[in-house]
Chain A
């Protein structure tokens, strides 16, 4: 079946630098994408979303970019902080009721 995947399982970034987390998806019919952040021992939390009719969306310190031509989604975190250390998942809406998740990227922020 089609699935959402992430390019790298881990990312180490210096505090204060920008982080870029990538995700490739395979379902060209997906119309809605979400990034989640999961801290150790907790449930995933919504970060930002984007619909397929958009290329870019900005939040507080985060930006999501969508390239439908190559089926690529990315999350950019500006001025990465220690509290940004977590696992980040991308998700795509495959139909009205279900999301498909990638395996996640573990981000570690170095002091």
Chain B
């Protein structure tokens, strides 16, 4: 199975600053990668699919990049509502797999 590894586990950022989250796949998944945001007690929300395409209604401050095995989610200027957990997910191969998550917390 494709193992997804996210780093860091926790990211402490001040509001207004830039946040960069990484996700690495154990083998090439081309661009079949999605990013989700999850707040406590809520279902995950799709942010990015196809490694770089924002889902409907997602603000432009969220951007995704990468292909193959290395991927990045960038939040250009953190807003209060962006403090949450973020998961990457590969849908290139079965079984589908998720990264272990990155928690973005207020510095």
Same complex for A and B? Answer: no
List residues of A whose CB falls within 8 A of some B CB.
none
